[in-house]
Structure 1
Amino acid sequence: MTPRQAELLDAAIETIGTIGLRGLTHRAVDDAAGLAHGSTSNHFRSRDALLIGVAERFVERERAAFEAIARTEVVVTPEDLGRTIGRFAIASTRENRSLTLARYSLLVEAAMRPTLQQTMREGGADVNAWALQWLRAVRSPHPERDWVVLANFVTGLVLHELAHPTDDFDPTPRITELIDILVEEP
């Protein structure tokens, strides 16, 4: 990916995150990037090509956002894991809000476009690997099962916060409570 393509795709992600997927046009991306009309179509000839590029760039950016948090944390206890995932959830609704809204839009679009499904699935593999490692560190008896439960729970919390924003969003206690339940020995 060239620097210009990355610039255009970042503008496309911002467009999706602020006005929705229906507003994603070549012209809207040109305007968001502050470039001459035709710039986006020179790099991404069709809407499908643009969507695939957006999904690939989204994966890069979300992975980087997750790793920026993940690399600063040492996860040994359920509380550590709850705090780490809580930080990611908060960042997803604040400084990475547009990126997160783009994620949800892309996930819905992927339901109808197998190419996007594959890109999104592959992109989640690194995040899943971190999470499984952490769940093993906190002694989850079923890390693969627990990650699915935890990921879906956090997805719901983040989606709800995006739809109904609050000033004091901190899901850390709820996430930690769920982790405690998941790792509890029967």
Structure 2
Amino acid sequence: MPSRPEQLLDAAITVLGSQGIRQLTHRAVDAEAGLPAGSASNYFKTREALVNAMIVRFADRERASWEALSGMVTPHTPGELAAALAAYVRRAVGPDRVVTLARYGVFLEAALRPDSRAQITESAREIRRWGADWLREVGAADPELACELLLDAVDGLILHHLAYPDLTGDLEARLLAMVRGNLGS
């Protein structure tokens, strides 16, 4: 069970992903969390404190999600890796759409907040380590570089699916081409 501050930060992530950064206020977070007015401001005195804490919470949640995924999936072939990535993309643009939109909002905010950028950077490093393990398993000559390129491409693919889903084409085929193109063997 999340603590009260975690409930509020999870609500802040939902507000960001469903309404945008301009609507991210203490009042909106209280309403989303279903808590009395003033709850968020009791824990996060300023909007900046709320946004900075939300970025940290988001990074923690993203690391936990990828850790769980890496524990459940171990692709052994390029096709299996492409299928796992396709499932991830579908979830990101479907059931987890609000969280995905919040993710891009968090990236923009972290770019403007150097003190929060470290959290996102460390989260990305951990995720890339897990991804490099997958690419090592499927035979990448340089798994770290292949992972960086592949995850950057997947981020772009997700963004395109969010912005204009009718123009994205065959997801599995595109991901398989990306995986094969990044193996470098």
TM-score under structure 1 length normalisation: 0.90
Amino acid at match of 1:66: W
Instruction: Give how far 1:153 is off.
Output: 0.8
Q: How does 1:1-186 map to 2 (within 5 A)?
A: 3-165=3-165, 171-185=171-185
Alignment partners' CA distance in 2, 1:17 and 1:157 = 18
Query: How many pairs are equivalent?
Result: 184
Alignment partners' CA distance in 2, 1:122 and 1:170 = 32
Instruction: Give how far 1:184 is off.
Output: 4.4
Q: What value does the CA root-mean-square deviation take over the aligned residues?
A: 2.0
Contact residue 69 and residue 87 of structure 1 kept, 8 A: no
Alignment partners' CA distance in 1, 2:91 and 2:64 = 12
Alignment partners' CA distance in 2, 1:14 and 1:117 = 20
- Listed one character per residue, the Cα deviations across residues 27-54 of structure 1 (whole Å, up to 9, x for unaligned) are 1101111111110000111112111211
Amino acid at match of 1:176: L
1:114–1:100 distance in 2 versus 1, CA, 3 Å? same
Alignment partners' CA distance in 2, 1:9 and 1:169 = 35
Gaps in structure 2 of 5+ consecutive residues: none
Q: Which moved more, 1:132-141 or 1:66-75?
A: 66-75
Alignment partners' CA distance in 2, 1:30 and 1:6 = 12
Alignment partners' CA distance in 2, 1:62 and 1:171 = 23
Gaps in structure 1 of 5+ consecutive residues: none
Instruction: Give how far 1:68 is off.
Output: 3.6
Contact residue 90 and residue 169 of structure 1 kept, 8 A: no
1:57–1:151 distance in 2 versus 1, CA, 3 Å? same
Alignment partners' CA distance in 1, 2:116 and 2:132 = 24
Contact residue 82 and residue 176 of structure 1 kept, 8 A: yes
Amino acid at match of 1:151: L
Percent identity of paired positions between Structure 1 and Structure 2: 38
Contact residue 78 and residue 180 of structure 2 kept, 8 A: yes
Alignment partners' CA distance in 1, 2:165 and 2:27 = 30
Amino acid at match of 2:31: D
Contact residue 58 and residue 99 of structure 1 kept, 8 A: no
Contact residue 93 and residue 158 of structure 2 kept, 8 A: yes
Greater fraction helix: 2
